[in-house]
Structure 1
């Protein structure tokens, strides 16, 4: 049966449009000036022009925009996209937390994440928490889809989807080097080289990032930084451009390794006020070591001018061990680090121990090796057929995907003691005795999308199908061989149809209106009978362009019959990863974006666009329940970790010789536990307004000097109270670098 499914998937698929590079004047903002013949099979939207002509909310961040600030933190790249919520963690964007339209940002587990149109979370069905995130400064474009425009890109269709487009094979020989050094001994090196011949093309990339970090560990010489390396190779062979049936085959291989001295241990309110960049002595041994591998094959065939098929086969493997302080046990009771930092008065003895102020007995500090492996593999294909005559045009997408993934937890706990303010290991745990569990998923997904355009109208009905089998196998805390009789299995199965449709009306060349409605869905966990997340989502939007002023205004309403949360330690929970039902809920909001080109002189070679984006997110829980991470919820409470108001303002002055850009982002105060009315101080993360600055000077057409400043005003601001205690955002930092290209 599986072989039949895989063979069938070569004909049709779920995840992406194959889009031919359009080089018309109205579409020059595509991801790169690629060959007119080569088909870009990694993009969904492909340009701002196409994004603004879809019957659903869509944003596109081009290669040129990414180079403005040269961010390597996706949290900052997405800061100007309305409807996106970001919860920073360690300040460098190593493990971002992204939510969209009211979905929880915790580990980006409630949105569909893709790289080159392929699911990229370590185990998107079985364990979607994104402890791996691609190195973003090797990305060439970002495509963000919300509302009805995301119906093809499941399994998560509630908040939205993000597709990251990696560096494309160029249409001529190109080489690029970007190197920088800056605050906290931060160094970055990026190199790529690529070329294309008549029937062959390639691109090779190397990426290194390392830093000492901006925090200081008490009584330690160890830094709080990280180091990562990322290697990518793409090779393509293709028929002649004038072949009767054009075909290409592209192989992509990626490998990355990262080591970061990161912790879940934050600070108490008082200690944060004294020094937000301090780390307690008990976090000295915390680190995460990870490795990611990807292999992907993409076949494209174009039997005729209006019919093509794109097929992708992929395998992603991810392994990580986050070795970090989990709890203290000074007597008979074990106390988690979140409880200690939330109430250091009640747990004063534990607090004094983790700060290194008091010595402890052996094994008083429990450091957990959160050792896990993930795997995902599958095959997906899309067939696109378009036809029409005159003002009547039709576009059909048929999609299919077969996917498998798993999470393997094989964890243990080591014991430590504090002696003279320093941690010392006092016992070694046995692997598998803390968690010894495998969660597996097998999923078949399909979609049909039909877009018909007549005169000024575009109508896009579509439907998605997900068939998901989930299984959790718990081997117990003693059966490390995984062959004993203590195995406990639970299974869950779900079949779901996810319909949606969008309508676009083009008033004239300057204005259009659109609306969409679709079913929101998130897969359940492996527990028997556990419900999936379900909602009905609608939006209404207006786009405008009048001379130098353009933008859009969108209102949306998500009506949940069942909202779900996740008991992750990263969200302040127990770390089981189990889902919990939050019942009925509503999320509604407004998204606004506008750009005004104050100066735009092609003859004189300068530009000054000013952009403004605003997001209003209003949430309401309509059921009362007790949650491991949201607290005691009452009807009418707001969902935690969602800021009600956000706005961003960006200005970029460009000349032939230099560029100068400034960007400011405001995030409203938000609550860390569900509640209504004024936010209690102990459950509040205060608002902040952070300004970044970027400058670039072109020594020649091929060599440029660059600099960027993060947090220009050196504002001290908190970003979270989870996993345990207050955590700071990035302080003032400056980087200087050089970019050279051939």
Structure 2
């Protein structure tokens, strides 16, 4: 109901503003042949006001103060256009615009757009209150790739992004598990996961697991900045992953879209969207319903997503915005398998009473203010009010469910934060320089209730028999941070970046750990404060207009997590001097395009992960043995990442009325190994010491290769993709032979193919269809030690989908 009330209130404000319009600037944008130009950006220079031209090339700006303005019109493939004009109070002015083609950019754009080559791109040097120059980054343009978006199929979505490893154990598409450079894909926790620039995880400082993933049908693009993002965003080692939601349509007052998908295993998804611009207001809202039975036995999911965004140009210099996102899920978890069960039938399940639920509410306020022509300010305030609930039989997978009381675990997340950024440009060395600064405050609280005695039923019921939990912990993180980074341009070819980040983190953990014989056992309260500084340097050297060398060195860190501060037993000990893991990321690469038909990005990386946290066994003076959690050692990931796209038909014939064939390859070789990492275990009551040095880091395949081909003809396109992934170990000891519970052991190499096609019928209709896992391979990417396992978590076999879309 809160969502409905908020929408109605915004609608009333919107309606009131319609009757308060003061003046209008309108016209038509055409090219040199007289054809209307769609999607051109129309901006009043030095203000926050702007629109886009519609399908017929028309544009309309309303309700801005009288005065003299510079009108700027731009679109890829055309020369920028500008003209000064004056307007009086209540005046309606018509100004038609003729855009001239930019021969170089237009040919590059047309060749690219004809085959969907824009599906993978990179960020500009400076954009949206951030510096991207010198950093390894990718932009995945969702609308321009053939993929099963209804199910958030990450294997297809990240197909062109080199080095992305994926856990494919969640066929519902609710949770995303991705990583890069030898890091763990566990709910993407080595990435700083954001949406529209603000946090969406429970707590990036203490519990950074991504339980929420927005529906990709409403995501405009996914921005990935590797570890060099640590200066501007903080943790984690993997860098930033930002979901940019589709913005309100600036070319019309109202537009609507409905996308409906059916598929294998009872899949049904309905995505419905509205948006538009009227005067000072623009808005967008969506609702998605998705449900299905899952590929495995005892699999079921039912999800609801809703989102509202409203923006208001309070003045020519100030823009205000409000967003709110809500998700609720109902997921039945089939559990894991033993190796023998997987070989027998990977679709089977021995867990019929395991359920998972994550209600998620994310509100956010934003403001952008143009201080001057060269200085602008951004402020975001955001929060997360969410839960993580599970119920089920959680013992090893080789133990039969006794149909007794299930275990209930419930987390409650209450977080809020604020981030302010200032972007300023100035002139030095005859070039424009850019300085970016920012301040951030974050407060996160996790109320963790675990090991509750649940019902003996089989449905999603989180009630607890005695109304209480044996483990009740309270975890709080407070974080202050400030950063500054500058782009120094020496000429049109060479630039350097330099920056630093100052962090202060306060972590507190307390509460009841367990109940033994009716007596509560409490943890010794922990309060840990630390401050540190991160530094970074980068550079770019441009070779012509379309290629560049880039390099970056940036320090990174991973804060002590809630799991690090929670011992498995009250007799265990946490090191009072436990430190955040620190290290650095280094990149050196070459990217760009040699010809309009060839794009590439190849490079070397090195990730140094120091002070990794682990547990060792130690002996007391009386001979008793206890587990001690501390910083044990380091690991190093290094290797090659390469991405190339090529269109042989364009390269040979320049144009073809029979369509285009677009080939791509995304390649990564990763050597992720432990350095000096000494561990101590107990064997026959005695301490045994060994060193992990030289062992391969767990969940880090050495080979991550993906190949694809897209054929396009007019408004039809079809994409085939092959994923070729190497073997990996599931534990740091590099165990090959699986244990009885299948929680450790080798994860074999695998190959899987996908085929998807799309056809835009007229301008209002579209049809998409595809087959995921074309050859019905049986494979797995994860051995889970606990929930949602334990045991082998099989990936989905062959599935089909069919999508019909309508715009009006």
What TM-score, normalized to structure 1? 0.81
Partner residue of 2:696?
638
Partner residue of 1:101?
181
Alignment of 1:597-636 (within 5 A): 597-600=647-650, 604=657, 606-622=659-675, 623-626=677-680, 634-636=692-694
Say which of 228, 239, 242 aligns to 1:148.
228
- The answer to whether the 8 A contact 1:66-1:140 is kept is no
Partner residue of 1:309?
377
> Aligned-pair distance for 1:261?
0.5
Segment drifting more, 175-184 vs 79-88: 79-88
Alignment of 1:46-445 (within 5 A): 48=121, 50-51=123-124, 54-66=133-145, 69-70=148-149, 72-73=151-152, 75-76=154-155, 77-156=157-236, 158-171=237-250, 172=252, 173-217=254-298, 224-239=299-314, 243=316, 246-263=317-334, 265-280=335-350, 283-327=351-395, 337=396, 341=397, 344=398, 351=399, 353-354=400-401, 365=404, 367-388=406-427, 392-414=431-453, 429-445=465-481
- The answer to whether the 8 A contact 2:211-2:358 is kept is no
SS in 2 for 1:434: strand
Say which of 649, 666, 672 aligns to 2:707.
649
Structure 1's 74 and 35: CA in aligned 2 closer, same or farther, altered over 3 A?
A: farther
> Aligned-pair distance for 1:606?
3.9
Structure 1's 732 and 414: CA in aligned 2 closer, same or farther, altered over 3 A?
A: same
Structure 1's 159 and 514: CA in aligned 2 closer, same or farther, altered over 3 A?
A: same
Partner residue of 2:483?
447
Superposition CA RMSD, Å: 3.2
Distance 1:386 1:227 in 2: 48
> Aligned-pair distance for 1:689?
1.1
> Aligned-pair distance for 1:231?
0.6
Partner residue of 2:599?
550
Partner residue of 1:534?
582
SS in 2 for 1:88: coil
- The answer to whether the 8 A contact 1:648-1:665 is kept is yes
Partner residue of 2:611?
562
Matched, 1:718 2:783: no
Partner residue of 1:664?
722
- The answer to whether the 8 A contact 1:525-1:579 is kept is no
Distance 2:806 2:681 in 1: 53
Distance 1:275 1:485 in 2: 43
> Aligned-pair distance for 1:521?
0.5
Say which of 743, 756, 761 aligns to 1:694.
756
Structure with max Cα Rg: 2
- The answer to whether the 8 A contact 1:585-1:619 is kept is yes
SS in 2 for 1:50: coil
SS in 1 for 2:409: strand
- The answer to whether the 8 A contact 1:138-1:207 is kept is no
Distance 2:476 2:276 in 1: 40
SS in 2 for 1:609: strand
Matched, 1:709 2:764: no
SS in 1 for 2:232: coil
The count of aligned residue pairs is 646
Distance 1:423 1:613 in 2: 43
Spell out, residue by residue over 1:194-238, the C-alpha distance to the aligned partner (whole angstroms, 9 max, x if none): 110221110110111110111124xxxxxx110000111111110
> Aligned-pair distance for 1:51?
4.9
Say which of 570, 588, 605 aligns to 2:638.
588
SS in 1 for 2:802: strand
Distance 1:251 1:118 in 2: 12
SS in 1 for 2:714: coil
Matched, 1:467 2:504: yes
> Aligned-pair distance for 1:688?
1.2
Distance 1:314 1:216 in 2: 39
Spell out, residue by residue over 1:266-318, the C-alpha distance to the aligned partner (whole angstroms, 9 max, x if none): 111111111101011xx221101221111111101112222110100111111
Distance 1:198 1:159 in 2: 41
- The answer to whether the 8 A contact 1:720-1:726 is kept is yes
Partner residue of 1:13?
none
Distance 1:607 1:39 in 2: 39
- Runs of at least 5 residues in structure 2 that lack an aligned partner in the other structure: 1-28, 32-38, 51-117, 126-131, 566-575, 617-627, 683-688, 740-744
SS in 2 for 1:255: strand
Distance 1:490 1:717 in 2: 42
- The answer to whether the 8 A contact 2:500-2:536 is kept is yes
- The answer to whether the 8 A contact 1:147-1:516 is kept is no
Say which of 674, 679, 693 aligns to 2:732.
674
> Aligned-pair distance for 1:73?
2.1
> Aligned-pair distance for 1:602?
6.6
Distance 1:597 1:725 in 2: 44
Partner residue of 2:73?
none
Spell out, residue by residue over 1:439-470, the C-alpha distance to the aligned partner (whole angstroms, 9 max, x if none): 10000111101001122111010111111100
Structure 1's 493 and 119: CA in aligned 2 closer, same or farther, altered over 3 A?
A: same
Distance 1:167 1:269 in 2: 43
Segment drifting more, 462-471 vs 172-181: 172-181
- The answer to whether the 8 A contact 1:189-1:209 is kept is yes
> Aligned-pair distance for 1:94?
2.2
> Aligned-pair distance for 1:150?
4.5
Say which of 547, 550, 568 aligns to 1:514.
550
- The answer to whether the 8 A contact 2:183-2:699 is kept is no
SS in 2 for 1:81: coil
Structure 1's 423 and 206: CA in aligned 2 closer, same or farther, altered over 3 A?
A: closer
SS in 1 for 2:469: coil
Structure 1's 613 and 178: CA in aligned 2 closer, same or farther, altered over 3 A?
A: same
Distance 2:282 2:760 in 1: 29
SS in 2 for 1:107: helix
SS in 1 for 2:207: coil
> Aligned-pair distance for 1:584?
2.0
Distance 1:309 1:605 in 2: 50
SS in 2 for 1:611: strand
> Aligned-pair distance for 1:662?
1.2
Distance 1:226 1:581 in 2: 39
Partner residue of 1:16?
none
Structure 1's 566 and 279: CA in aligned 2 closer, same or farther, altered over 3 A?
A: farther
Distance 1:603 1:247 in 2: 48
Structure 1's 96 and 431: CA in aligned 2 closer, same or farther, altered over 3 A?
A: farther
- The answer to whether the 8 A contact 2:150-2:215 is kept is no
Partner residue of 2:798?
732
- The answer to whether the 8 A contact 2:391-2:454 is kept is no
Partner residue of 2:26?
none
- The answer to whether the 8 A contact 2:182-2:699 is kept is no
Distance 1:488 1:203 in 2: 49
What TM-score, normalized to structure 2? 0.75
Alignment of 1:33-48 (within 5 A): 36=43, 48=121
Distance 1:666 1:63 in 2: 22
- The answer to whether the 8 A contact 2:602-2:641 is kept is yes
